[in-house]
Structure 1
Amino acid sequence: MIFLTVKAAISGILIAAASELAKRFPGFGALIASLPLVSVLGMIWLWNAKPDAENMAAHSAATFWYVLPSLPMFLVIPVMLRHGLPFSLALGLGCLLTIVLYSTMTFIGPKFGLRL
């Protein structure tokens, strides 16, 4: 239970730091948020729980393929905001787009030999 609390605290601190930096320096906050910190921390936590090279390789490769469908959200949200949509609607539609693209990747990826 203590390890779970430490993992949650470290992860929360990183997210809080990125959002606080973004208040003053949007570009720097975006840089911090775009770093694959969650993926790297996830791999560290996974390796600590199950040090299996094949499992880690599969996890890392699947992470790459799941990053791709999330990228359009970061292009669509600014376009919607600049066209006057409220933030909550733009964010919701961006998340909906990502869910659709994740679902598509999950369904189509294995047909092309991807291990997701």
Structure 2
Amino acid sequence: MYVMAKIIVSAVVIGVVTEISRRFPSYGGKIAALPLVSLLSIIWLYVQGEQSTEISKFALGVLWGFPATAFLLVLVYVAIQHSINLFLSIGIGIFGWGLFLFIQELFLKYFKESLIGLFVQK
């Protein structure tokens, strides 16, 4: 029953955002840019009794995924502006997202020590 409640609440949120987007595209885009899925996930994790350390790790994962998601949206926007089919545009965006995450991981592994040095005082 709990899983069904999560699905229904999440679907209602998505439905409301798409209806607002249909009537007011600019406002809908701004609302959709809110991290609704992330916030709903954090709420569901909390309600399910997850430890704050796990919720914190989840939030950090979302933060690290944000640049790739922004890149995905730029690619989709540019592709659609160049009259590329919507689903192909989304495919290009997803491919770019994955590539961005892969490069980001390589970058982080390579520069991990110097990045840690920036944030941790010895």
The TM-score with structure 2 as length reference comes to 0.80
Q: Displacement, 1:108?
A: 4.6
Q: Displacement, 1:79?
A: 1.4
Judged with a 3 Å threshold, the aligned counterparts in structure 2 of structure 1 residues 30 and 55 are, in CA distance, closer, same or farther, namely: same
Worse-matched range after superposition: 3-12 or 56-65: 56-65
Number of aligned residue pairs: give it.
Answer: 113
Q: Displacement, 1:97?
A: 0.8
Note the alpha carbon deviations across 1:7-51, whole angstroms, 9 max, x for none.
111111111111121112111111121111111111111122234
CA distance in 1, matches of 2:103, 2:2: 35
Q: Displacement, 1:68?
A: 1.5
Q: Displacement, 1:107?
A: 5.1
Q: For 1:1-116, list aligned pairs within 5 A.
A: 2-106=1-105, 108-109=107-108, 112=112
Judged with a 3 Å threshold, the aligned counterparts in structure 2 of structure 1 residues 110 and 54 are, in CA distance, closer, same or farther, namely: farther
Kindly provide the amino acid, as one letter, of the partner of residue 68 in structure 1: P
Worse-matched range after superposition: 98-107 or 69-78: 98-107
The TM-score with structure 1 as length reference comes to 0.83
Judge conservation of contact 1:80–1:90 (CA < 8 Å) in 2. yes
CA distance in 2, matches of 1:19, 1:78: 18
Q: Displacement, 1:106?
A: 4.5
State which structure, 1 or 2, has the greater radius of gyration over its C-alpha atoms.
2
- Give unmatched runs, 5+ long, in structure 1: none
The answer to which structure, 1 or 2, has the higher relative contact order (CA under 8 A, 6+ apart) is 1
CA distance in 1, matches of 2:6, 2:100: 29
Runs of 4+ in 1 over 4 A off after TM superposition: none
Please provide the CA RMSD for this pair.
Answer: 2.0
Kindly provide the amino acid, as one letter, of the partner of residue 40 in structure 1: L
